[in-house]
Amino acid sequence: MTMNDEALLNRLNAHPELRSRVESMLLVVDDEMGNLQEADAAELQLIEQMRKMGQESLQAWASGQVIKVSESTAQQSHTWREGKKLQWHSTFGEIAIEEPQYRYESRRIRPFVNSAKITHRGYLLPLQRVVVDFGADVAFAQVMDRLVEHYGIFVAASTIRRMTELHARNIYKTNPIDEAWPDATGCETLVVEMDGGMVPTVEADAGQKDRRRGKRLQWKEAKLYLAHVAGSKTLSYGGTLQGDVAETGKQRFGCARSVGFGKQSHVHAQGDGADWIALQVEEKFGKQGSYLVDFYHVCDYLTAAAGAIHADAAESRVWFTQQKERLKAGQSTEVITVLKPHLETDDVADSEAAVRSCHRYLDRRRDQLDYPGALVNNLPIGSGEIESAHRYIVQKRLKLPGSWWCAANADYMLALRLNRANHQWGDYWNQLRKAA
């Protein structure tokens, strides 16, 4: 036996509970009883032993640290005070010790709490990270089941909600957006897309003592943005629920900056034709930006107009296909001209006037229909990317069946999901740990 082996054996003997756990794991490895022939059974046994070993190791660490810091503190002239039970939560389970406390004049001194940076009944950062990770994806009540399944620990749904929303709020408030005009040349062409989607929110009645009474349910639009270098699949996301037009423009500009927008870059922006979107593109990117109305949004108008012009389904499809090809060929003026003879009379309500709506939509956006220019440069003419992003970023969490959000909390949760989509998750937790 070498000196290192002897030292290791002595250390194990000093912690009999850990030695017993190591022996239990060795029994699984050796399988002397011959009842662990299946890999699944062996893994389940080891997982259980490792969980217990983690809890016992953390418990032993805490006990050792209490002795060390208490001895150091006791050497000073402090009045001894009886110890109190201190508990906290970890991914291995609950840890509990007797915490010696001291008094110096009128101050209470807690050496272990100060050195370990914990609070009574608090949650360690690794566990908080796990809880928020689950809470960002599924309903808080379902997180309880996942914690039991994967970690063998129980955390109440109210605590899960409070913890998740706390970190979501921190991410929302500490997420800087680079609004400065770039000095670098930047990439050649950027694709920037924007789309809105409705999120269910609830507003409490301030005049009611019981906040459950008098609630008003309403839908608010979550505005989502993405940007990437033309031809690249590396996306940057931004979004806001309560932000105004100026905030949305800032978010979109921040997305473009994060993927390489420079003073010589061209921005190929897309959206559903809302006037404020086009104005924001012009305001934020100037002559370096161009705006294209989503082709498939235009096709929705053309489809409705085709049905109004031709009662026969086959003729309607032929007409629609002709106009669609004309738009792709840059003949938007011809499409507008073809629609004009079929305009409904003024006494027909706009909601019933499909041809008039299509004509007005295209006529007002003549300079936003350059589909040939996009196609020849291999740029997208449809905003399928941002519509998909709405499903996997916004709807997947914020539109769960039966869920209604306070508007502010919905904004925080959107920021949390954007943080993960932008691969900033690890940075956030690393910064928290450094600041602790």
DSSP string, 286-321: GGGEEEEE-HHHHHHHHHHHHHHH-SSHHHHHHHHH
331 and 381 part of one domain: yes
My answer on whether 228 and 368 are in the same domain is yes
Distances (CA, A) of 377 to 133, 188, 235, 325: 40, 12, 19, 18
Distance CA 291, CA 371 (A): 11
75: pLDDT strictly greater than 80:
no
Q: Is residue 291 part of a domain?
A: yes
How do strand 266-271 and strand 289-293 relate by DSSP bridges? parallel
Q: Are 429 and 167 in contact (CB under 8 A)?
A: no
Q: Is residue 181 part of a domain?
A: no
Residue 31: inside a domain, yes or no?
A: yes
Mean pLDDT of the 172-195 span: 91
**CA R_g for the chain:** 31
**Strands, E assignment, 364-403:** none
Q: At residue 192, what are phi and psi to the nearest 5 degrees? A: -130, 125
Whether the CB-CB separation of 372 and 330 falls below 8 Å is answered with yes
Cα distances (Å, whole numbers) of residue 283 to 176, 192, 289, 401: 21, 14, 9, 38
Q: Is residue 396 part of a domain?
A: yes
Name the 3-class secondary structure at 386: helix
Count of Cβ atoms closer than 10 Å to residue 378 Cβ: 9
Q: Backbone phi, then psi, for 77, in 5-degree steps? A: -85, 75
Mean pLDDT for the chain? 90
Beta-carbon contacts of 32 under 8 Å, excluding residues fewer than 6 positions away, are none
In a domain, 353, yes or no: yes
pLDDT digits (tens, 9 = 90+) for 241-261: 998 888 888 888 999 999 999
pLDDT tens readout for residues 160-180 = 999 999 999 999 998 888 888
Whose tokens are 């589909």? That residue is 371
pLDDT in tens, 271-306: 888 888 888 899 999 999 999 999 999 999 999 999
The verdict on 348 and 430 lying in the same domain is no
If one compares 325 and 5, the residue with the highest pLDDT of the two is 325
User: Could you tell me where the DSSP H helices lie in 219-349?
Assistant: 245-258, 275-285, 295-309, 313-328, 332-339
Has residue 49 got a pLDDT over 80?
yes
In terms of domains, do 220 and 132 share one? no
Q: How many domains does the chain have?
A: 3
Higher pLDDT, 22 or 155: 155
pLDDT of residue 341: 94
Q: Tokens 């921005």 identify what position?
A: 267
For residues 404 and 73, which has the higher predicted lDDT (pLDDT)? 404
Distance between CA atoms of residues 182 and 247, nearest Å: 19
pLDDT bucket at 69, cuts 50 / 70 / 90: confident
Sheet holding 122-123, edge to edge: 107-109, 93-104, 79-90, 122-123
Amino acid letter, residue 366: R
Tokens of 408: 């502010």
Q: Name the region of 68 (left: φ>0; alpha: ψ -120 to 50; beta: rest).
A: alpha
Query: Residue 195 pairs with which residues in a beta bridge?
Result: 224
Range of the domain at 154: 126-174+423-435
Distance, in Å, from the CA atom of 248 to the CA atom of 168, rounded to the nearest integer, reads 19
Measure CA of the first residue to CA of the last residue in the chain; give whole Å.
42
For residue 119, pLDDT over 90 is answered with yes
* 396 and 270 within one domain: yes
pLDDT confidence band for 80 (50 / 70 / 90): low
75 or 375, which is more confident?
375
Residue 1: pLDDT above 60?
no
- Between 23-27, 80-84, 219-223, 409-413, the lowest mean confidence (pLDDT) is in 80-84
Q: For residue 260, which phi and psi values (nearest 5 degrees)?
A: 115, 20
- Specify whether 327 is located in the same domain as 377: yes
Q: Do both 37 and 65 map to the same domain?
A: yes
Hey, is 150 helix, strand or coil? helix
pLDDT at 160 (0 to 100)? 98
In a domain, 183, yes or no: no
Residues 427, 170 contacting (CB under 8 angstroms):
no
Dist CA 336 CA 325 (whole Å): 13
| pLDDT of the residue at 107 | 81
Q: Tally the residues of the chain.
A: 436
Q: Is residue 179 part of a domain?
A: no
* Residue 78 scores a pLDDT above 70: no
Confidence bin at 362 (pLDDT 50/70/90): very high
The answer to whether 124 and 91 are in contact (CB under 8 A) is yes
If asked whether residues 8 and 114 sit together in one domain, one would say yes
Q: Are residues 168 and 269 in the same domain?
A: no
Alpha carbons 394 and 167: distance in angstroms, whole number: 18
Residue 27 and residue 145 in one domain:
no
Which element (helix H / strand E) includes 217? strand 216-229
- Which helix (H) or strand (E) is 331 found in, with range? none
Q: Does 25 share its domain with 167?
A: no
Half-sphere exposure of 214 toward its Cβ, with a 13 Å CA cutoff? 8
| 132 part of a folded domain | yes
C-alpha distances (whole Å) from 92 to each of 26, 89, 286, 330 are 21, 8, 55, 64
Mean pLDDT of 21-38: 81
Question: Do 345 and 297 sit in the same domain of this protein?
Answer: yes
| pLDDT, position 372 | 96
